[in-house]
Structure 1
Amino acid sequence: MFNMAPKKTALKKSLGETTMLKRSVSTRAKKNSDVKLVDESSKRKAVSPLKQLSKRSAFGDITNDADLSKKIATNKKDSKKNVETISHVKKNLKESENGNKAVMPHKKTGRSNIPTFPPKVQMAKANTKPEKVHPSSVSKPKCDKTEVLTSVRVKSPDSTDNELYLTAVEELKKLTTKDEERKKVLLPPPGVEDFDAENMGDPVQVSEYAMDIFSYLKEREAKFAIDNYMERQTSINTAMRALLVDWLVEIQENFELNHETLYLAVKLTDIYLSKVTVSKETLQLVGAAAIFIASKYDERMAPMLEEMLYVCDGAYDKKELIRMEINILNKVGFELGIPLSYRFLRRYARCSKVTLPVLTLARYILELSLMEYTFVSESDSKLAAAALLLALKMKEISGWTKTLQYYSGYSLEEIQDLVFKLNDMLKMKPKEALSTVRNKYSHKIFFEVAKEPVLAEVNL
């Protein structure tokens, strides 16, 4: 589906600066007009550009071990001795029950006649048999939906040593009129659709912990906040960063990587650039190492090292890519569980039960914002909420409902300025050098959301 042959194209001069980035991955091939609509979850087959290379096994080829036969023989011998020892112990125990002395086997020692447990104790153990219970006599407890929802175990602040944890049901029973704030945390307020309660039977949704998970991710956003680092960079500018992100989107599309991988790669790139001053010759290497790390973290089968060097069009060698990978991991403190706006967007869209075209339009807006440096310092959770609200307004569906406000934690007043900025971004004239995202979302697979008319003004 994608032409993976490399092409060497020098990036145009922009803002008086000459960039050294190389567009190594070809753009999307034109699709026929009769392409059928497929489900978003279906992934197109990615073809490796290096036909002569084969994917490595996850644990290597253990058959190449020269001492493997010796290890197998040793293991068999040890297992045989263990079986003999167990049988000898059983024989001794049986003799001890009859009043005879038990003898335990020992290696290379003169010790013998070591007594086992007293015969009375062993006879008591032998005569003790568990009672058999017929399965039909066991009554199955009835499962209440409300009890399942509130079956999360929470720590009680007034608990004693004998009762450290209480279930949420028991916690609600102990609440008084002074504990309304704690009650709001356990159950959604009136007028809000309880998405987690409706999906309690689906183990994939982890409805018992979903609210806590995303609350924890919002708390971690402050740890990965990014400042205006371009003021400290002397060799690169915002235009070069936009070209790099556009190149990363093209890599994600051609290798069929997850969208989470793309967002994590951009986040790692910004974090590294906020801490290290790089040259324009090294900028592409930072992006390549970032998406390589993100692929290892989020993909079931990450691209090979040779493939990453291939898409860089031979600009760097193996040692340089590995060294940059180590540098990025050291600078981020090996913290890869970074909150991503894409994850928040999926959570908000699922809780509000929006259609797939609306979600795809919000994804398009959010992915375009990756190339805009003005959104680097914004909160990921707030940016996802603003993108979803703008998509709802463009589709003329609804506004910021109580359900969205509850699950996102943001009111309309908190995100309206960000909605206006995203709409201004959509109204900007598209640039030819930054057309990968628009071309991607102009296809029927993504419901051609890039062709959606832009709002002249957003009425909130």
Structure 2
Amino acid sequence: MAPTRLASKPIGVNENFNGIMTNGITTRSKQMATLKTYKESLKVTNKRKADSPLKDMTAKRAAFGDITNAFNKSCATNDKDKVTAVKKVTVESKVLPTVKNIKPQTAVLNGKSSKAKQLQRVATNAIESVQKHFVKDPPKPVATRAQNGILKHIERKSLGKENCQNNSQTSVKSGSDVSGEPSLYLTALENISPIDVTKEECKTISEKLNKVNLDDSVNRSLDEETESPHRVPDGIVDFDKENWNDPFQVSHYAMDIFNYLRSRERLFPIDDYLQRMKGITSWMRALLVDWMVEVQESFELNHETLYLAVKLVDLFFTRSTKTQPEKDHLTKEELQLLGASALFIASKFDERIPPLIDDFLYICDGAYTLGQMLKMEMNILRVIDFDLGIPLSYRFLRRYARCARVSMPTLTLARFVLEQCLLEYGLLGHSDSKMAAAALYIALRMKSLGTWTPTLQYYTGYKLQDILPIVLEQNAALHKKPKSAISTVRNKYSHTIFFEVAKVPLIDNSALSS
């Protein structure tokens, strides 16, 4: 187990207040004096407050936060520059409209005297000069996206009505916004030239536009689907229908989820990788998996974490031995490092509060350094292409058992069969969904609870003939003589918490085949 961590001393708590809380006081005078000192300390002017970060410091960026919140002093604009910029904009905004409104005072300068004519020419030249420098091309009004959508909707309606009366008159160019630029929201109807539209087409377009309804109430809600959920064949218990209104069961997509997981199984094949390796045997792998089960039990990790970690080990061996030269393959001294790193990755993927990397270094008894484990973690993720959404037999088993309404002791027995088969190197080539179905079938026969039902056949997608070869292999693994070196799984499921399912009598292959 990981060493116990001691809580650090609280920060920001007054020492006198700590003394009151820990040591206690004997007299009222001491209490008042101590409390007076504590109150005076709260009035200190130099007491630090929870202010924002200092302006000359770089603010720390939170994970997945805004990447632009770092404060760069060299790139920041001084306050004086900001004020000056604002003043410039203000002056320009005042000058432009004033120039537009200037008119020659013809009522006063009516040309009766030469002086008046000269003043008139000076005023006119001044106006032209100002307009030449400041008033070049007045900017066109640019509408927002929301305004564009509203205007286009109005224009399309007017287009459908006006074109039916006169095809030559158009109000606005199709497929462009108010500013004349091509629109980003071009639709199929907007791409039609108004001139090419006939009266019949105009009528069809207008009818389609009138049928457009943005009211979301016309869509069918999930509550209405309770009357007609996914249909199942006759004679099969519809587990999803009974939990259709339970949001935690996600019965609306549960079938699709597990069908998707079954389709992904072909992406993670595991072959006979030990033939390409020297110095590592199936017995060494069984020892490693047994140790990983012990770690899962000691750290109280989820079973999904264990299954994912074992899958990562096998996938790493399968893919790395194909791409790397034989001299770069893992040695038996690095097997424990591989198992600990795989558990570390799986914990961060499946656990709410995963153990720290120091905990995994501790369970390895200091055999590896921090740098070695981090390097192995990166190597595993690189080899599996960072794809951790691997279908697991444990998840399939839980789904099959729930749909068949299997009791908890029977499900635990199936888990024991499945977990014991993790040690078997010869069963790695089978898919996880078939392994889960075979383990459940063995548990049902060991408990004398019947055979493979049509309900199980529907939810698993396998007939008894499809899983029977795997059933016989798993049963043969259960009949092997227990070895003390790899007895963690049997000892684990011999406890009362797991209903002592490891002590249930085994059955022969003849009983499974019938």
TM above 0.5, yes or no, is yes
Amino acid at match of 1:51: R
Identity of aligned residues (%): 54
Is the alpha carbon distance of 1:412 and 1:313 closer, same or farther for their aligned partners in structure 2, counting shifts above 3 Å? Answer: same
Tell whether 2:226 aligns with 1:148: yes
Q: Displacement of 1:274 after TM fit?
A: 1.1
1:68 to 53, 58, 69: 53
- Per the alignment, residue 259 of structure 1 pairs with 303
Tell whether 2:472 aligns with 1:420: yes
**Counterparts of 1:271 and 1:107 in 2: how far apart (Å)?**
66
Q: Deviations over 1:122-172 (max 9, x none)?
A: xxxxxxxxxxxxxxxxx9x99997723657xxxxxxxxxxxxxxxxxxxxx
Q: Deviations over 1:227-250 (max 9, x none)?
A: 111111101000000000000000
Does the 8 Å CA contact 2:421/2:474 hold for their aligned counterparts? Answer: yes
**Counterparts of 1:329 and 1:281 in 2: how far apart (Å)?**
20
Amino acid at match of 2:3: P
- Per the alignment, residue 51 of structure 1 pairs with 5
Instruction: Choose between structure 1 and 2: higher helix proportion.
Output: 2
Is the alpha carbon distance of 1:144 and 1:369 closer, same or farther for their aligned partners in structure 2, counting shifts above 3 Å? Answer: closer
Tell whether 2:444 aligns with 1:400: no
Is the alpha carbon distance of 1:323 and 1:67 closer, same or farther for their aligned partners in structure 2, counting shifts above 3 Å? Answer: farther
- Per the alignment, residue 190 of structure 1 pairs with 234
**Counterparts of 1:50 and 1:352 in 2: how far apart (Å)?**
43
Is the alpha carbon distance of 1:263 and 1:239 closer, same or farther for their aligned partners in structure 2, counting shifts above 3 Å? Answer: same
Tell whether 2:406 aligns with 1:354: yes
Tell whether 2:312 aligns with 1:234: no
Q: Displacement of 1:68 after TM fit?
A: 2.2
Is the alpha carbon distance of 1:396 and 1:347 closer, same or farther for their aligned partners in structure 2, counting shifts above 3 Å? Answer: same
Tell whether 2:264 aligns with 1:220: yes
Tell whether 2:422 aligns with 1:441: no
**Counterparts of 1:368 and 1:311 in 2: how far apart (Å)?**
23
**Counterparts of 1:427 and 1:452 in 2: how far apart (Å)?**
12
Q: Displacement of 1:452 after TM fit?
A: 0.5
Give the secondary structure class of the aligned counterpart of 1:370. helix
Q: Displacement of 1:49 after TM fit?
A: 2.4
Q: Displacement of 1:106 after TM fit?
A: 5.4
Does the 8 Å CA contact 1:50/1:307 hold for their aligned counterparts? Answer: no
**Counterparts of 1:240 and 1:149 in 2: how far apart (Å)?**
55
Q: Displacement of 1:340 after TM fit?
A: 0.2
Is the alpha carbon distance of 1:203 and 1:106 closer, same or farther for their aligned partners in structure 2, counting shifts above 3 Å? Answer: farther
Is the alpha carbon distance of 1:149 and 1:302 closer, same or farther for their aligned partners in structure 2, counting shifts above 3 Å? Answer: farther
Unaligned runs of at least 5 residues, structure 2: 9-47, 60-84, 98-140, 148-216, 321-328
**Counterparts of 2:294 and 2:267 in 1: how far apart (Å)?**
29
- Per the alignment, residue 112 of structure 1 pairs with 93
**Counterparts of 2:500 and 2:254 in 1: how far apart (Å)?**
31
Q: Deviations over 1:333-356 (max 9, x none)?
A: 000000000000000000001000
Tell whether 2:289 aligns with 1:289: no
Output the TM-score relative to the length of structure 2.
Answer: 0.58
Is the alpha carbon distance of 1:66 and 1:401 closer, same or farther for their aligned partners in structure 2, counting shifts above 3 Å? Answer: same
Q: Deviations over 1:311-338 (max 9, x none)?
A: 0111100000000000000000000000
Tell whether 2:377 aligns with 1:325: yes
Give the secondary structure class of the aligned counterpart of 1:112. helix
Higher relative contact order (CA 8 A, sep 6+): 1
**Counterparts of 2:268 and 2:349 in 1: how far apart (Å)?**
17
Paired positions, count:
321
Output the TM-score relative to the length of structure 1.
Answer: 0.65
**Counterparts of 1:305 and 1:52 in 2: how far apart (Å)?**
18
2:389 to 337, 342, 357: 337
Q: Deviations over 1:63-87 (max 9, x none)?
A: 9x99824499x9xxxxxxxxxxxxx
- Per the alignment, residue 163 of structure 1 pairs with none
Is the alpha carbon distance of 1:71 and 1:356 closer, same or farther for their aligned partners in structure 2, counting shifts above 3 Å? Answer: farther
Give the secondary structure class of the aligned counterpart of 1:396. coil
**Counterparts of 2:342 and 2:474 in 1: how far apart (Å)?**
26
Q: Displacement of 1:112 after TM fit?
A: 3.2
> Bigger radius of gyration, 1 or 2?
2
**Counterparts of 1:67 and 1:144 in 2: how far apart (Å)?**
46
Q: Displacement of 1:213 after TM fit?
A: 0.5
